A and B are shown apart, each in its own frame.
Chain A
Amino acid sequence: MEIKRIIESGLMETYVMGIATEEEVQQVLLLKKEYPEFKDALENLEMDMEVLAQGMAIMPPAGTLEKIETKINEIQRRSQVVQKIVVPNTGSESGRADKEEKYIEVEAESNQMRVNKAWKWVFIAVFILGKVFLAGAIYFYLENRQAREEIKELKLELKQKIK
């Protein structure tokens, strides 16, 4: 029979060994669907390949399962964080909740302060005004000192005239 010849052709073996071409894979899937005999033979072969691998098995050392569980838990935690960042807000929550969804809260220490660039001109104006007031204060101080000295001299002159 034709199907028996196909089963004996080595097609199933190349398929289960993972080296079948795309054309052969399609052929196997079609035969599996159409011929129960082929399907049974393929399933038996798959099972036998598993038994063969069991015969070549090596027991992993203790602690291997824990390592895998830890790694998977890490992956799941990471993907949950990513989902939290990516998933858009559905609309019913408040603005604060929206902010919490978009940003991850982190603890950080820094002695730097960030200031909006618009403040630059305010700081320059304050600096210039400071200089103007300082110059004014020095000018009036000197004026005042000169005036006092003049008054002192006038008083002395007056005293001498009275005498």
Chain B
Amino acid sequence: MPKAVLNVPSAEPKDIRWFYDKYAAMLLGYINGIVQDHRKSEDYLVSILTAFTAEFGTTEKSQLSIWLELRQYAQSKLAVLTEKHHSLTPAHVNSNGNLDLLDDLQKQIFCAVYYHGKSISQLATAFSSEEDEIRNQLKRSIDKMRRSRGN
């Protein structure tokens, strides 16, 4: 079987195996956090990673790191699902203890933004709170998880 190679400049020799080894597990964990169904998550992983690797390099280069770009790409592809099923109660996620560091409000805010792409203004309305307060809570939740890793 011929090995499929991505349409990227030769300065960045990234083939599918490279993408897969580096991001497939992370992406599956992320998708499963949204879909909450292992079987469906695996199907979405195949279609999203296929579409992303096929499009990578053909679109305008993003300023974000590849992982953040891939995560946002997956989020936009799964937006229909997140719109239908999302509630502000965080679903069970294999977070390796990361989310356990957060209090309930921080967990809700972090999950709503990370998995479902909710904006600060949407969350401020949902929680009847100020936008600055939501922004602060989001920052604190990320800081807590970073600190737990010694950063």
User: Are A and B genuine complex partners?
Assistant: yes
Q: Does A46 count as interface, using CB distance less than 8 angstroms? A: yes
With contact pairs A61-B42, A68-B53, A69-B1 given, residues A19 and B113 touching in the complex (Cβ less than 8 Å): yes
The CA of A60 and the CA of B63, in the complex, are separated in Å by 28
With contact pairs A49-B68, A53-B30, A58-B28 given, residues A64 and B1 touching in the complex (Cβ less than 8 Å): no
Binds B, one of A9-17, A97-105, A109-117, A154-162: A9-17
> For window 6-54 of chain A, which residues contact chain B by CB distance below 8 Å?
8-10, 13-14, 16-19, 29, 32, 44-54
Contacts of A70 in B (CB 8 A): 1
The CA of A109 and the CA of B49, in the complex, are separated in Å by 40
Report yes or no: B2 in contact with A73, Cβ–Cβ below 8 A: yes
The CA of A137 and the CA of B33, in the complex, are separated in Å by 91
Contacts of B24 in A (CB 8 A): 60, 64-65
Report yes or no: B75 in contact with A65, Cβ–Cβ below 8 A: no
Interface SS of B by simple majority: helix
> For window 1-39 of chain B, which residues contact chain A by CB distance below 8 Å?
1-4, 16-17, 20, 24-26, 28-30, 32-33
Interface SS of A by simple majority: helix
Report yes or no: A19 in contact with B46, Cβ–Cβ below 8 A: no
Contacts of B114 in A (CB 8 A): 17
Q: Does A142 count as interface, using CB distance less than 8 angstroms? A: no
Interface residues of B (CB under 8 A from A): 1-4, 16-17, 20, 24-26, 28-30, 32-33, 41-42, 45-47, 49-50, 53-54, 63-65, 67-68, 71-72, 75, 93-98, 113-114, 117-120, 135-136, 138-139, 142, 145-146, 149, 151
